[in-house]
Amino acid sequence: MSRFPLIDRPRLWGTAVSHYQVEGDDECDWSEWERSGRTRGGACGAAAGSWERYESDADLARDAGANAFRFSISWSRIEPNPGSYDGAALDRYARLVDHLLAIDLEPVVTLFHYTHPRWFHERTPWTSTESVARFAAFTARVADALGDRVRVWMPLNEPLVFLLAGFYDGQIPPGIADGRLLPKVLDHLLVAHCASAAAIRDRSPGAAIGVAHNMVAFAPERKGSFLDRMLARLAHRSYNRGLIEAFGTGRWDFLLPPTTRLRGRRDDLTSSLDFFGVNFYSRLHLRCPGRERRIGEFHYRDAAGRGLTDNGWEIVPEQLETMLAEASAVNLPLVISENGIADAADRMRSDFMTEHASAIARAESAGVPVHGYFYWSLLDNYEWLDGFGPKFGLYEVDRLSMSRFPRPSTATFRRLGQEFLRRSHEPRSAEAAPYSP
Ligand code: FCB
């Protein structure tokens, strides 16, 4: 029986946060990275203080009209030393889940959202096969603690972003820039996903498992340049479709310029998912060859004429429709697991959400099965390398008092949610259709 969509909650409309970006004071590989001065935007520190405020934050999501709450678990809090688990940290998340259920929000739990315990990269790095067992053991502890109360799980957030930034560009921990490691690391991440999914299903047979795939629209910087056009096509083929094919067929085979070939096969990938998550934000313009970067130059620019977001990203809602059509090849229910805008003045956020909601509605009319949408983010938070600069929140956070203030566009989020939840799908058949690119 298909575990997703949920029978009693066929559509999810929610907000997303991740542990490190909101909780505060989490000792992990990222906090070490900050101390070594390798972030542009400074240290995370107390973040948005959500570790103490999760319940009232969940109330804010509900007040804004959400029926689901996506958050992630801090591996470094749960397993500060290898094999030694912190019961109080597990209880903290269990209390949050209880609260979510009490206020009728569906908990959607991500297990890996970029950060690791500090010991991980030394003892069992993603280049080693032991990484898989470690991640599965961590998953098992969390699943034991949260039990059947969590029905929707996402073991990995954006595995390709982590792979490329962590092992190719070396911009985020573990900060390695060695293309030769990529095939092995990707294989381990995908196997870890399967092992994590199996550990969850062992404990909670009805659980729905997903993955959050970052999808980016790519365009040639110079339309007249054959090489730029080729690069944009290759980027789409590799970055966007590579993972869709992997989950759709159990095989992957794609190229990262200039010469890295990622190729592998894991048959259990195809049965590991109940839904496919798309994280979508923007479009990159690519120029070949790259002078500064190995995979070519890429940047954002306002080609669509809607203006750039505060962090300089192009706004291209119509591209979400294209990405959803692409992702539908995996033949699973789709969820937009992240979509949002950095807009401190809240001048563009309402239009941004409205236009993306229209793109979703168009995709649905064309037969794409969209079952959820999560706005990134509930709160202003710590945006990784960019620190606290970009303000993605439906709620503004005053970091001195940690008070939260709704931005006016929260009303738009609520209205769009009502419309989204009113439309419903026929339940899909239990028989999964085959991958169909
Ligand atoms: C996504 C990340 C998320 C957040 C947004 C802006 O790629 O998953 O943590 O930083 O970008």
Nearest CA to ligand 1 atom 7: 214
Q: Atom of ligand 1 at shortest distance to CA of 21? A: 9
Where is 185: in which H helix or E strand? helix 182-203
Percent of the chain with pLDDT over 90: 92
pLDDT tens-digit series, residues 246-284 = 999 999 999 988 789 999 999 999 999 999 999 999 999
Residue 309 Cβ inside 6 Å of ligand 1? The answer reads: no
Residue 214 Cβ inside 6 Å of ligand 1? The answer reads: yes
Residue 13 near residue 339 (C-beta atoms within 8 A): no
Residue 338 Cβ inside 6 Å of ligand 1? The answer reads: yes
Residue 18 Cβ inside 6 Å of ligand 1? The answer reads: yes
Residue 110 Cβ inside 6 Å of ligand 1? The answer reads: no
Q: Does 296 have pLDDT greater than 70?
A: no
Separation of alpha carbons 347 and 303, rounded Å: 19
Separation of alpha carbons 156 and 114, rounded Å: 9
Q: Does 59 have pLDDT greater than 80?
A: yes
- DSSP letters for 73-94: --HHHH-SBTTB--HHHHHHHH
Q: Name residue 203's amino acid.
A: R
Pocket test for ligand 1, best of 50, 111, 154, 158 (most atoms within 8 A of CB): 158
Q: Find the 427 Cα to ligand 1 centroid distance in Å.
A: 30
Q: What is the pLDDT of residue 328?
A: 98
Nearest C-alpha neighbor of 281 from the set 183, 367, 375, 152: 375
Residue 353 near residue 407 (C-beta atoms within 8 A): no
Q: Find the 383 Cα to ligand 1 centroid distance in Å.
A: 7
Residue 343 Cβ inside 6 Å of ligand 1? The answer reads: no
Separation of alpha carbons 11 and 422, rounded Å: 9
Nearest C-alpha neighbor of 332 from the set 154, 201, 158, 186: 154
Q: Atom of ligand 1 at shortest distance to CA of 214? A: 7
Which tokens belong to 435? 């991958």
Nearest C-alpha neighbor of 23 from the set 2, 47, 3: 47
Separation of alpha carbons 230 and 236, rounded Å: 10
Q: What is the pLDDT of residue 2?
A: 67
Which residue, chain included where needed, has tokens 């906090």? 31
- DSSP letters for 139-177: HHHHHHHHGGG--EEEEEB-HHHHHHHHHTS--STT---
Percent of the chain with pLDDT over 70: 95
Q: Find the 20 Cα to ligand 1 centroid distance in Å.
A: 11
Nearest CA to ligand 1 atom 4: 383
Between vectors from CA 68 to CA 324 and to CA 309, what angle results, nearest 5°?
55
Nearest CA to ligand 1 atom 10: 383
Where is 281: in which H helix or E strand? strand 276-287
Q: What is the pLDDT of residue 290?
A: 63
Q: Does 225 have pLDDT greater than 50?
A: yes
Mean pLDDT score, 378-407 = 98
Residue 339 Cβ inside 6 Å of ligand 1? The answer reads: no
Phi, psi (degrees; rounded to nearest 5) at 171: -85, -20
Give the Å distances, CA to CA, from 243 to 48, 161, 330: 32, 11, 10
Q: Does 314 have pLDDT greater than 70?
A: yes
- DSSP letters for 203-217: H-TT-EE--EEEEEE
Q: What is the pTM of this model?
A: 0.96
pLDDT tens-digit series, residues 145-180 = 999 999 999 999 999 999 999 999 999 999 999 999
Reduced to 3 states (helix: H, G, I; strand: E, B; else coil), residue 46 is: coil
Pocket test for ligand 1, best of 376, 378, 379, 383 (most atoms within 8 A of CB): 376
Nearest C-alpha neighbor of 112 from the set 155, 82, 81: 155
User: Any idea of the CA torsion for 349, 350, 353, 357, to the nearest 10 degrees?
Assistant: -170
